[in-house]
Structure 1
Amino acid sequence: MAIPRFTIQASALALITSCAGLGGCASTSPAQAVKADFNGNWSVQWCDKTDPGADCGGFNVDLSQVGDKISGESFGARARLSQIDEGGVVRGVAIGNTAILAIESMRSGGIYLVAATIDGRCMHWKMRDTIRRSERDIDIIAGDDVLTKSSSAPSGNEQESDCRGIPIRRQD
């Protein structure tokens, strides 16, 4: 007895559908990218190695993240505090553990594009481009550095180190 062609096609279609369904259930979906938390105060300290008693400068960003949008302020100072850049406006967007940020110096009007990637309490910071050159002065903005997230609790008597393994000097 011959099996009608329609029955074979319907059976094949049902078999393919059920296999695809089982494969979809059995397979695991790719892991979701972990969304980093850019909120907080991030900084790197720059000290004059030839004069350990001199004041340290550095670069600091205070960021606030809502969803994928990031905003904040920056501050920079050369070692020995010979030049201070008292303010910058930060705006950007987070994509997973990386943020693309634009920093506008309020001192000079310069605007810089930065990629920042978080790894634990460390932020790998890399200036990627200049959007608008500064008009009046040199800006104090980290170029290619590692910023450390400020801890909320004092470390007591222990010497705290930054993400580069360099002891953090507390200014008196």
Structure 2
Amino acid sequence: MAANTIHAIYTDDDVLMNAVKQTRAENYRISEIYTPFPVHGLDEAVGLAPTRLAITAFLYGLVGFTVAVAMMNYIMIQDWPQNIGGKPSFTFYQNMPAFIPIMFELTVFFAGHLMVITFYMRSRLWPFKKAENPDLRTTDDHFLMEVDAENHDVEKLTQFLYKTGASEINLIQIEQDH
């Protein structure tokens, strides 16, 4: 079974933003937007839910902080206590001022590295993955809005998209497996 999708190409990000708002106001479903750079406010205009990646960054930072505390407590207090610079090595809290830079660095290290891994997994960006970009011009200076044309009059939708400022419109047949 084939699904109809319309690719509307725009040459300006402000025109694209207005077109997205008008398209959503007419109750057409926008399935994807491809841009050469991030467009501020586009996620809200399309109606995307806020991301939860900030929560995972905080949790990854907590993991890094916990690893730092456990590592320093084991290495510097339990396993091999040393008198460095006259500081007592009997308890963790007595040495904690000297450990603050290490705790901070491991918190940032874990949060940063695990966030990169999470982002790539969430975005399904694997090594050697073939690009899914439908039009190479969107990596340079064009913007592409993908609109579902199923259950809509294609001619009417095409005219509507031209009125929103689209410079080019293509009807795409996507084969779907059941």
TM-score, structure 1 length as denominator? 0.22
Q: Name the one with the larger helix percent.
A: 2
TM-score (norm 2): 0.22
More strand by share: 1
